[in-house]
């Protein structure tokens, strides 16, 4: 009888040790996913941002407007959203997980192609991670109607204001990305911006949407003076 009890006690002890080990491994994975990937992504984004700004200091032949070749390849500019925090977000082409893992936001090329801010009509549609890999849109829920969203290019500050949010919609709802975004209340072409990310926090079940409309475009001066919304 004592041998049976001893064996049972041994099995229970081993099972307990395995549970503890599994808990430690799971904890380390969570730390890696939610903290260390942010550190790595922010480092990479910072390097890319420095390269972009260095490229902006170089003159372009003929004084061409809009992003130059370097900008288009490495990033088209920087998103500034005071309600989400003080950090600027580098914006690059593409919205696949691999393209967003570098701590950036990406503009859509599919299923609905994004307009770009300097175009006269259309919807500038962006995505970024909400958790891990920089988590650039982690605080998207803090945006309210009237809050500014500013996009900075080499030549221009594009100032948008939030006019509507959609806290939850299907991940397959591509209508929110259309040139005149459905469910936003707009019915006519304009110059819009759409921010998208996963929701609820720590999941990817649904999408959180924020819509804004361009209120003005300000040419960048020699000192790169920020618009009033960012001071």
Q: What is the residue-wise DSSP string for 41-95? A: HHHHHHHHHHHHHHHHTS--GGG--S--HHHHHH-SEEEE-GGG-S-EEEEEE--
Contacts of 51 (CB under 8 A, 6+ apart): 74
Confirm whether 29 is domain-assigned: no
Q: pLDDT band at 89, cuts 50/70/90?
A: very high
State the pTM of this model: 0.82
What pLDDT does 54 receive?
A: 87
| From 129, 133, 138, 141, active-site residue | 129
Confirm whether 45 is domain-assigned: yes
Torsion angles phi and psi, residue 27, rounded to 5: -60, -45
CATH number where 204 lies: 2.40.260.10
Torsion angles phi and psi, residue 40, rounded to 5: -65, -45
Residues of the chain with pLDDT > 70: what percent? 77
Proportion of the chain in helix, strand, coil states, percent, rounded to 5: 35, 25, 40
pLDDT digits (tens, 9 = 90+) for 100-109: 998 999 999 9
* Structural domain for 219, as ranges: 36-230
- Say whether 138 is catalytic: no
- Say whether 133 is catalytic: no
Confirm whether 26 is domain-assigned: no
| Number of domains into which the chain is organized | 1
* d(C-alpha 231, C-alpha 194), whole Å: 23
| From 80, 138, 141, 198, active-site residue | 198
């Amino acid at each position: 009888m004592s041998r049976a009890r001893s064996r049972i006690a041994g099995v229970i002890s081993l099972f307990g040790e395995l549970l503890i080990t599994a808990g430690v491994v799971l904890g380390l994975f969570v730390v890696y996913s939610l903290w260390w990937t942010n550190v790595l992504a922010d480092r990479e984004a910072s390097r890319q941002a420095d390269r972009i700004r260095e490229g902006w200091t170089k003159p372009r032949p003929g004084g061409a407007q809009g992003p130059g070749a370097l900008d288009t390849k490495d990033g088209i500019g920087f998103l500034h959203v005071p309600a989400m925090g003080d950090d600027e977000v580098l914006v690059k082409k593409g919205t696949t997980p691999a393209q967003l893992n570098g701590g950036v936001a990406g503009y859509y090329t599919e299923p609905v192609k994004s307009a770009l801010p300097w175009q006269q009509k259309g919807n500038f549609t962006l995505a970024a991670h909400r958790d891990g890999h920089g988590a650039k849109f982690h605080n998207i829920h803090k945006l309210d109607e009237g809050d500014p969203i500013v996009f900075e290019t080499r030549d221009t500050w594009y100032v948008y204001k939030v006019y509507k949010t959609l806290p939850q919609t299907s991940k397959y709802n591509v209508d929110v990305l259309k040139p005149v975004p459905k469910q936003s209340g707009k019915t006519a072409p304009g110059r819009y911006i759409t921010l998208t990310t996963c929701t609820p926090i720590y999941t990817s079940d649904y999408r959180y949407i924020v819509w804004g409309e361009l209120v003005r475009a300000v040419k960048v001066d020699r000192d790169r003076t920020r618009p009033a919304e960012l001071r």
